[in-house]
Each structure stands twice: as structure tokens, then as C-alpha cells.
Chains A and B, each alone.
Chain A
Amino acid sequence: MELVFKRPEALSDVTMAYCPGCTHGIAHRLVAECLGELGIIERTIGICPVGCSVFLYEYMECDVIEAAHGRAPAVATGVKRCLPDSVVFTYQGDGDLAAIGTAEIIHAAARGENITVVFINNTTYGMTGGQMAPTTMPGQETTTTPGGRDPKVAGNPIKVCELLASLDGTAYIARASLASPAKVMKAKKAIRTAFQIQLENRGFSLVELLSSCPTQWGMSPLQALKHVDEVIEPFFPLGEFKKPN
């Protein structure tokens, strides 16, 4: 019988600890597929964050470094500068990248560090129990915005792609969604482009992935994907915000 679907070489044969309906598994798979297709697994070093994907180093078959909360872009800078022929990516959630790690991501981007960032935006702190994230939508209920996020009190969400695309050091900035098979294929294309840009030494690349968190949103997996499509995506529009000419 012909084998038509299998685990990507870069993905470990282990059970992931993610909740049912969580899109981290899809994002991991896309990264793994891209590393395999580009033939770069053996020279890739991943940097994983603090958050739900903290165990990335158990799920990927490349070398992985666990960073402190928010510091992955600085750790990636240290690795990539010392090993310029390696391929370095960070995998970060919204709290990690856009709250506690804001300085690190902005300056890695401004320096044009030749690294790839996979940014998971699920508008909440999944691992710690669903608190307000820097990307939490206005009106969104979280455990620290019980009446819904009131921008007058709790501030406004940060649109990371739009922010980073304004920096000269960035080469490729895109936002994709994991809410439907067609969108997943587009997300993969963006991730692959980001790695390609790193391989061509063109500078900093980032792909934001709109993701679901059914557990902390209090939704079924299907409701959560619908929420990404109907509520989150209109606020965080998809597209390529910066790409090389």
C-alpha cells in the first residue's frame, strides 16, 4: 500500500501534552515539515519559550534550547552570531513575545538578526490559566479581565506584525491563521518562506499564527476555530506585512 501521510522526520514520536483542539500541534508540524523539506534539520537550533510550548524540545528532532520567559530572541542572537551557518528559530507565544519579551523581539528585529520567529497568538496566557495577554481582544473575558478587557483600564492589544514591519531590520513579516485546512496550507507557505529568507541571509523573519485555545476560551474545539475566523481574524488581519522585493 502506498504511504500518503506520515509523521515529519523532524517531529518526535511522542504524545504532545496539548489540550484537545489546541493548534500548537499543527504549528509544530508545519515547522517540522518545513525543516524536513528544506533539508535543514541537522543544522537547526530551535529556541523554545516559557508557556504551553515550553516542552518543544521534547517534540522536535533538532537541537533545542529552553529560554527564560521572553528571552528567546536574545538567546537566538547568541546562537546565530556564534554559529552563522546554523538555522535558528524561536517559537514563542503572545505573552512571551509581546509582553515580557517585548524589548528582546523589537531589538532582535531592529538589528535584523538572521533568525526566524514563529509567533503563536491565541490572545491569552494558556499555560497559567487564561489571564489577559498583550493580544487579548477588547471586551475579551479572561481570568484577569473578568468583565472583559476594558482598554481604558487594561490597555489595548498589540498588533505585533504591524509594529515589527515598521522596523528597517525586518525582511519578512506575515500573519496567517490555523483555523481551517486552507489557511493551514497558507501558514505553512509563510513559515517556509521565512526559513528560506533566513537561508538566503536576508535578515529577520517572523510568522504570526492566529491560534485557538478552547480550554481557556471556554469553547469547544470547533467553536474556537470559528472564533478565530469570525472574531480574531478581522481584528488581526492576515497577510504579508513585509517581504523582500
Chain B
Amino acid sequence: MKRKRVLMKGNEAVVRGAIAAQCRAFFGYPITPQNEVPEYMSKYMPEAGGVFVQAESEVAAINMVYGAAAAGIRAMTSSSSPGISLKMEGISYLAGAQLPCLIVNVQRGGPGLGNIAPSQSDYFQAVKGGGHGDYNLYTFAPWSVQEMFEHPALAFDVADRYRGPAMILTDAIIGQMLEPIEIPSEVSVDIPPKPWATTGAKGRRRNSITSLYIVPEDLERINLEIQENYRLAKEREVRYQEFETQDAELVLVAYGCMARICRTTMNMARRKGLKVGLFRPITLFPFPEKEISMLAQAGKRFLVAEMSAGQMVEDVRLAVNGASEVYFHGRLGGVVPSAVEILEEVEKVMSRPFLTSPMTAVAKDSLAHGCTTTGGDGG
């Protein structure tokens, strides 16, 4: 396949990637640091024969996505943290009506208006629901501009395959940074037939798209269908990347740009002779819990680094399930931890004796439930 090498911003790459993935409708609203997404979309989407509308609000934008998705079109919206909060109503309806679509969150500091600096504090909102009801978003976490181009195809395919909204959870660094990327001449996508779409009842019985099921047993049945899709996705769609975990005594766990920083930390640690590895979840939902569990069984300790007060660390703890020690280091409010800062944490953790044996691990974990932003809970 022919590939073109170009220098590109993350926010432009996600636009190019979405259009290459046959996305043909975009609805958005201005908010920093994702403004390049609607801006590039307003140019490239009509060129691709698709629909672009600048909506009057984030709420309207996600509901336009709902309409376009109901019409069987690959549709997308993007925003940044405060705007994503506004979209939560629509996202819940999309999940309830089992409509595939893509939402991009270029995260910024919060809560509230926060700031426009990079953050990872919307992890819970992305992977644990966010809106009302029992649902999850198929969540992808790109760590490079290259992956900003590649993830829309993966996310749309998963959204279509399991009939639900997907999210690309990125941040102001990945969205704003320029990197060289390779753009293939074509992107392969898997778009299944959509016999459920409301396109006009010609030659068939009418279709209806709804999340309203007034009889509890009916609504339970729909919920079980949705949960079954999550179960299948957990079996088939988990993505992750490991670096030097084989002989590692301590495994750093991080996603998105934080994983890039942690890779630098890992290399610095290795040069000092410390056996440090890196585990990077690429899908945050479904979460690579089996793989992390296996590393824990193999006796490795974990240091989770996030630009949050500790959100993904909860999923790591659930996966480890007391079999090993899980430490946390995070910075808040848009502050980006440096590789050196994390290395200091690595050295601190590795200098401690391994307190956990599989027998005592569960008891220790239940005692030391909380975690601070500066230290671990291992001792």
C-alpha cells in the first residue's frame, strides 16, 4: 500500500482518519483545545461528499449525531471536557437506542470550566458511563498523532459491530502536537448492513429507533442485549501494548500521552539498571484486565501514572485484585508530570521491600484503599 508521510496536528489527523473511515457526517461546536476538528471538518467533510453542521450547542450537536446515526450514516462529534459533559444526555440516548457513532474528547483541565491544559480527568466519565443508565462507551486512547489518524476506523468498526457509541479519549497534548505521520492511500473499514436504520419504510415494515421501553421486562431485555455486546467486546476487542514487561519488577501503567512520558521514564530507569516495563491500555473500555492480572500473577508491582487524581488506577486495582501492589502518581488541573518526576516515584517504590505476598495482598488492599497524588499505598 502506498503511504504518504506528512507533518500533522493530532486534531487534523483525527479528522483525516474519520473521513478515511467513511465518516460522512460531523456536527460540532467550538471549544478549545479541539477547535481544529470542526474547522478541518468544515473543509474536508463537504469535499468528501459528507455533511457538516456547526450546531447551536453541544447538546444539539450530539442529537444531530443521533439523527445521522439513526439514518445509518457514520456520524461523529468532537468536543473537550465541559462540552462532553453537555453531550452526556445524548450519549445515554445513543447507548439506549443502540446507535453507533464516534465522539472525540480532547480533554482539558477540570472540574468546571477548568482550563485548556491537557488532562486525563474524564476517564471515569468516558469508561464508566457518564450519562444515566447502564452503559459503557467503547473507548480508545491514542498516544500519537499517527493513532489519532488510525483510531477513528477502529472505533467506528467497533461501534458498528456492537451497535453503540464509541469514544476517542485524547487530550490537549495529542490534539495540539505536530508529528510526522504516515497516511495510507486507503483505510480498510468494516461497515455491516444496517437494516434497523430509519431511512424510509420502502419495501419493508416501518423501523423505529427508541430507548423507551415502558414495560420493565422489555427494558431489561434490551439492557441484557447491550450487556451481551459489552461481554463480546471484552472477549474480542481489547487492545494494549507492552514494553519490556517480561523481566520487569515494576510495570508502569499509563495511557495516551502519559504513556509516552512513561516510556521515557522506563528508558531512563533501564539505563540505571532498574527493571522497569510499561503497559499501555489502548482500549480503556474494554479494559485489558486479563493481561494486567497475568502480570500481577507473575509477581510484578505496578505504578500507575495519570493526569488525574487517580481514575484508571481503580481499573488496574480491580484487575490486580490484591495479587500485587499498585502505586499511583498523578498531577491535577492540567499539570503534566515529567519523566524525571515519575522516575523519582519509580525509585521510591523499587527501594521499598515487596510487602505483598498473595496471601496478605487482599487484606492490605482493603486497608489501604485510598491513594494520594504523591505516593503509593504500598507501605
List residues of chain A with CB under 8 Å of any chain B CB: 41-45, 47, 54-55, 57-58, 60-68, 71, 74-83, 86, 103-104, 106-107, 111
Q: Is B39 an interface residue (CB 8 A)?
A: no
Could you name 20 residue pairs across A and B whose Cβ atoms are closer than 8 Å?
A42-B200, A47-B67, A62-B200, A63-B198, A63-B207, A63-B208, A65-B208, A67-B93, A71-B63, A74-B64, A74-B67, A78-B64, A78-B66, A79-B68, A82-B51, A83-B200, A86-B71, A103-B56, A103-B59, A107-B55
Given contacts A63-B206, A66-B210, contact A86 B64 (CB under 8 A): no
Q: Which residues of B contact A111 (CB under 8 A)?
A: 53
A89, B82: Cα distance in complex, Å? 31
Q: Tell whether, in the assembled complex, residue A82 and residue B67 are in contact, meaning their CB atoms are under 8 Å apart.
A: yes
The 7 nearest A-B residue pairs measured at CB: A78-B67, A74-B63, A66-B210, A107-B56, A63-B198, A78-B64, A75-B67
Which of B56, B201, B208 lies in contact with A66, CB distance below 8 A?
Answer: B208
Interface size class of B (residues with CB under 8 A): 35 or more
Q: Which residues of A contact B55 (CB under 8 A)?
A: 74, 107
Q: Tell whether, in the assembled complex, residue A41 and residue B68 are in contact, meaning their CB atoms are under 8 Å apart.
A: no
Q: Is B65 an interface residue (CB 8 A)?
A: yes
Which of A45, A78, A82 lies in contact with B63, CB distance below 8 A?
Answer: A78
Q: Which residues of B contact A55 (CB under 8 A)?
A: 212
Q: Tell whether, in the assembled complex, residue A103 and residue B209 are in contact, meaning their CB atoms are under 8 Å apart.
A: no
Q: Which residues of A contact B210 (CB under 8 A)?
A: 57, 65-66
A82, B69: Cα distance in complex, Å? 9
List residues of chain B with CB under 8 Å of any chain A CB: 24-25, 27, 51, 53, 55-57, 59-61, 63-71, 73, 75, 89-90, 93, 97, 198-203, 206-212
Q: Tell whether, in the assembled complex, residue A79 and residue B67 are in contact, meaning their CB atoms are under 8 Å apart.
A: yes
Q: Which residues of B contact A62 (CB under 8 A)?
A: 200-201, 206
Q: How far is the CB of B342 from chain A (nearest CB, A)?
A: 42
Q: How far is the CB of A163 from chain B (nearest CB, A)?
A: 15
Q: Tell whether, in the assembled complex, residue B60 and residue A104 are in contact, meaning their CB atoms are under 8 Å apart.
A: yes
Q: Which residues of A contact B63 (CB under 8 A)?
A: 67-68, 71, 74-75, 78, 104
A107, B203: Cα distance in complex, Å? 34
Q: Tell whether, in the assembled complex, residue A77 and residue B64 are in contact, meaning their CB atoms are under 8 Å apart.
A: yes
Q: Tell whether, in the assembled complex, residue B200 and residue A67 are in contact, meaning their CB atoms are under 8 Å apart.
A: no
Q: How far is the CB of A196 from chain B (nearest CB, A)?
A: 18
Given contacts A81-B53, A82-B68, contact A71 B60 (CB under 8 A): yes
Q: Which residues of A contact B59 (CB under 8 A)?
A: 71, 74, 103-104
